[in-house]
A and B are shown apart, each in its own frame.
Chain A
C-alpha cells in the first residue's frame, strides 16, 4: 500500500497536503483499495465550510457508499471536477489526479494532530494484521 510522505493522515484514511494557507485532501491508497472500484464521488460545494471530522464527501464504490471526513477544518476553494467523469482516478492515483478538494485551512495547528506518513504506515499495518484474524 502506497503512502505519500508529503501528506498527513487521519484515522479514517483521508490525507491532507498543506500548501501555504491552503490544503488539498483526498483518500489514501489503502482506502481506495478497501473500497475497490469507485464509481462516483459526491463532492461538496465551493464555499462550504466544514469543521474537522465533518462529512465533506461521500464516496460511492461498486458495493457501498462511504463517508469521507474532513481531516482538518476549512472552507472549500475547489473540487476535483475530473472526478465527475472519471471517478476511477481515485483508484488509479489517490494522492495525485484523484484528489478531492482544495480548501482554506482554518487552524494550521490541527495539522500537527494528524498522523505522519510513518505513523500512518504503522497504523494500516496494524489494521491489516487485525483483518487477518
Chain B
C-alpha cells in the first residue's frame, strides 16, 4: 500500500488525480491539466508537494572527509549556506543517485535524495562509513517535509512569509530561518529546484505540512500560484534537460555519458568511482545523451529504440511534448561516433520508424542561467 502524504486530502479536495509513484500516492495532475500547470510555473508560480523525496543529515568532525569520499563533487569547496548538485557513484562509475547537498554548518550537511533511492542511499552511506570516522548519518525523511515553490513569482510569494531577506538569497544558496506562520515554523530554504525557473525548496518539520501548504496557497493567490502535479514536474525538468534517475542516469549509466561532468570533481584525490570516470574521460564515453526533435509528430517515450542507418543504435530515455517550445522532443543515448555527426535519426514508435533530428541541449534555457548570461554579456561590453 502506497504511503499518503499529509497533504493527501488537500490534493483530493483540489481535484488532484492521485497515482502511485515510488511508493507514494501523489497528484499526477490537477483539473487544469499538465500542460496548463507547466505554463503556470514558467509564467507565474507553482507549488509542489514533494514529501516523497528523501533527506539525510550527515554531521560530525569527519563529515567532510566522509562525504568527499562518497560524493563526486568536491565538498571541500562548499561554503556554509550553499547548495550543490552532486552524484554518488559505484566503483564502476554507474550512478547510485543524484543529490543536492546543502552545507548547513562547518560539520553539518543536508542531503536531498530521490524517493526511489532513499533507502538504498542511506544503506550506501552507512556501508561506506569507516569505523573510526566520527560521522553521524541520519535519515530525516520521516520528520522532514519538503515543498517546492517555483516560478518567476516565487520570491514575491515567499519573501513576506520569511524572517530573512530572500531577495538577497542568491541562486543555489540556502538559509535556515523561520516561516512567519502562526505559530512560526523552523525552515531550511534553498534557492533551488528542478524546473528551470527561479524558485525555492522548503524543508520543515512534518507536523507543519498543512499549515505551510495553506499559508503558501493563500499568500500565492494574488500571484496566480497553482498546485502542480507529477506530470508537469516531469515536463518542467525535461525541457532544461535535467536528468531523472532511472532514465538519463542509472546504475549502468555514468555521469560523463549523461553530460554531468560539471558535478564530478575528477581533480579530487579520491572518490568512489573516480578511477572508472577518469578512464571514461580519457577514452571518451562510448555513448552520449543527445537531444532530438520529432520531425513528423509522434511521442518518443522512455525505452523506445533509436534507429540509425537501419539498425537499432540506442534508446530514448525521456521524450514528450514540450509545452514551452510546442514541439515533440526527446533525450536518447546513442553511440559517440554518431552523437557528433548524426543529424537524422529514427525513433521506433510501435511498428514504424519516425524521423527525428538531433538538436542542442538544453531545450529550454533555465531562467536563472539567462540572467547570469545577461550579466556576463554586460560585463563584456566595452567601456
Q: Are A58 and B350 in contact (CB under 8 A)?
A: yes
Which residue in chain A gives the minimum CB-CB distance to B37?
A: A37
Which residue in chain A gives the minimum CB-CB distance to B326?
A: A85
Query: Which of B36, B235, B350 has the most A CB atoms < 10 Å from its CB?
Result: B350
* Cβ-based interface call for B250 (8 A): no
Interfacial chain A residues near B301, Cβ < 8 Å = 65
The size bracket of the interface on B is: 10 to 19
B345-376 near A? 1/0 per residue, CB < 8 Å: 00000100000000000000000000000000
Q: Are B34 and A62 in contact (CB under 8 A)?
A: yes
Q: Which of A51-91 contact B (CB under 8 A)?
A: 58, 60, 62-63, 65, 84, 88, 91
Which residue in chain B gives the minimum CB-CB distance to A67?
A: B350
Interfacial chain A residues near B28, Cβ < 8 Å = 63
Interfacial chain A residues near B320, Cβ < 8 Å = 39, 62
CB distance from B293 to the nearest CB of A (A): 14
Interfacial chain B residues near A63, Cβ < 8 Å = 28, 34, 231
Interfacial chain A residues near B328, Cβ < 8 Å = 39-40
CB distance from B300 to the nearest CB of A (A): 10
* Cβ-based interface call for A97 (8 A): no
- Asked if A42 meets B29 with Cβ closer than 8 Å, knowing A37-B34, A62-B34, the reply is no
Q: Are A37 and B299 in contact (CB under 8 A)?
A: no
* Cβ-based interface call for B61 (8 A): no
Report how far A63 CA is from B34 CA in the complex, Å: 9
Q: Are A84 and B297 in contact (CB under 8 A)?
A: yes
Which residue in chain B gives the minimum CB-CB distance to A64?
A: B301
Which residue in chain B gives the minimum CB-CB distance to A60?
A: B299
CB distance from B19 to the nearest CB of A (A): 9
Specify which of B33, B235, B297 is in contact with A42 (CB 8 Å cutoff).
B297
CB distance from A65 to the nearest CB of B (A): 7
Interfacial chain B residues near A42, Cβ < 8 Å = 297-298
CB distance from A86 to the nearest CB of B (A): 11
Instruction: Give the A-binding residues of B (Cβ under 8 A).
Output: 17, 28-29, 33-36, 231, 235, 297-299, 301, 320-321, 328, 350
16 A–B contact pairs at CB < 8 A?
A: A36-B33, A36-B231, A37-B321, A39-B320, A39-B321, A40-B297, A40-B321, A60-B298, A60-B299, A60-B321, A62-B29, A62-B33, A62-B235, A63-B28, A65-B301, A88-B35
Closest 9 pairs between A and B when the two form their complex, measured CB to CB: A39-B321, A60-B299, A62-B34, A37-B33, A37-B35, A62-B231, A37-B34, A40-B299, A40-B297
Instruction: Give the B-binding residues of A (Cβ under 8 A).
Output: 36-37, 39-40, 42, 58, 60, 62-63, 65, 84, 88, 91
New A-B pairs, 17, CB < 8 Å, besides A42-B298, A65-B301: A36-B29, A37-B34, A37-B35, A39-B299, A39-B320, A39-B321, A40-B298, A40-B299, A40-B328, A42-B297, A58-B350, A62-B29, A62-B33, A62-B34, A63-B231, A65-B350, A88-B35
